[in-house]
Amino acid sequence: MKELELKYGCNPNQKPARVFMTEGDLPFKVLNGKPGYINLLDAMNSWQLVRELRAATGLPAAASFKHVSPAGAAVAVPLSAELQKAYFVEGIELSPVATAYIRARGADRMSSYGDFVALSDECDAQTASFLKREVSDGIIAPSYSDAALEILKTKRKGTYLILQMDTDYKPEPLERKQVFGITFEQQRNDVELTEDCLKDIPTVNKEIPASAKRDLLIALITLKYTQSNSVCYAKDGQAIGIGAGQQSRVHCTRLAGSKADIWYLRQSPQVLNLPFRDDVRRPDRDNAIDVYVGEEYMDLLGGEEWKRVFTEKPPVFTREEKQAWLSTQSGVALGSDAFFPFGDNIERAHKSGVAYVAQAGGSIRDDNVIATCDKYNMAMAMTHIRLFHH
């Protein structure tokens, strides 16, 4: 199939809309549902992300995409007991691809609401069963087991979008797009991100263990498919906070750091022991957790709203308790899609337990950034690779 007509473009008024190939057939098959314009943008970007994560780490990978940027990305690193409880999969033996998906979805569950999912490996029945319970628009994977396909075809009253990607597809080296009737053309960003890009370490601390190198690569590859400016915090085989599309880099660092903090607060005893009602829907539970760890929880306690989700009123998670818990976070990796212009980014990163940094370098204030890393004994690699994505 060379062409696929779409219902409309980015918005309902943008008609007609289609995707097509000038040569050859489209590199994906529609196994179920009807794709939309944004669905396919998410699918093609997320597929590239998981494919590169798979190649760089040798592990099955998954991504959760929203509005052409990842909300989460991860590889199949086994879950700790705390993460099993935080991700609501206690006592379940997970397949590798299910592990990657659970991690990707767990990075920022509020942002993943209504996501598009990408898997680097075949979707198995277990992953499909987890996905069936989530609010999601579609999935792309290289293949599906018969059982997985049967499960997914029942989702969203049979309309769930299921795409199968041709793993042998290789795009042309030049890419084009139109803006306001003007055609832009450029070399496709086919730079490969490997451990070789982490060799230039100008900081006093030059020790980056294998697990941190893996997490730095996860952060950098995630940023390659995140709308710029962008910053990504990663730990334990997954992105834990992504800041996308901000005009100021320090705002990216703050946004991503705030998400990383929420990810870690979700693993605190105060959150893990919240008394949820059995009839609470998953999105309502996730929203309640975000409210509970936020400052607005005082407003929730002041009324009767807590009765909608909890069996009893939980105690306030005080600012001091949250700071005490966040102070135990460590070993976090941080990637940036371009250079850090000031040391303030490192100061903010330190508050979220960052110990390892990878950034392009090349700022006139590199010395200040290096000195700030040295202040906190961070190891920082300068990749000399910019990863802007627009």
For residue 373, give the CATH number of its domain: 3.40.140.20
**Does residue 226 sit in the same domain as residue 333?**
yes
Has residue 321 been placed in a domain? no
Candidates 289, 285, 257, 234; CA nearest to 63 is 234
Exposed/middle/buried for 364, CB within 10 Å: 0-12, 13-18, 19+? exposed
Q: Are strands 61-66 and 69-75 parallel, antiparallel or unpaired?
A: antiparallel
Query: What pLDDT score does 295 carry?
Result: 67
Domain residue limits at 307? 269-316
Q: What is the pLDDT of residue 296?
A: 62
Query: What pLDDT was estimated at residue 302?
Result: 57
Which of 165, 195, 225 is the last residue before a domain boundary? Answer: 165
Q: Same domain for 35 and 89?
A: yes
3-state secondary structure of 192: coil
Do 125 and 34 share a domain, yes or no? yes
pLDDT, residue 300, reads 59
Is position 66 annotated as part of the catalytic site?
yes
Per-residue pLDDT, 112? 93
Is the domain of 219 the same as that of 354? yes
What is the count of structural domains for the chain?
3
Distance CA 273, CA 292 (A): 12
Q: Which residues in the chain land under pLDDT 50? A: none
Regarding whether 310 and 194 lie in a shared domain, the answer is no
Of 39, 229, 259, 345, catalytic:
229
Q: Check whether residue 295 and residue 180 sit in a common domain.
A: no
CA angle 131, 135, 139 (to 5 degrees): 50
- Confirm whether 387 is domain-assigned: no
Whether 251 sits among the annotated catalytic residues: the reply is: no
Q: Which residue among the candidates 157, 170, 273, 390 is catalytic per the annotation?
A: 390
pLDDT given for residue 307 in this prediction:
86
Q: What pLDDT, in 10s, does the model give residues 197-207?
A: 999 999 999 99
Q: Look at residues 112, 142, 165 and tell me which one is the last residue of a structural domain.
A: 165
Query: Is the residue at 147 inside a domain?
Result: yes
Is 229 considered catalytic here? Answer: yes
User: 229: cis peptide before it, omega within 30°?
Assistant: yes
Has 389 been annotated as catalytic? no
**Is residue 198 assigned to a domain?**
yes
Structural domain includes residue 358: yes
Q: Do the beta carbons of residue 101 and residue 86 sit within 8 Å?
A: no
Both tokens of residue 212? Answer: 């941190």
Residue 214 lies in a domain: yes
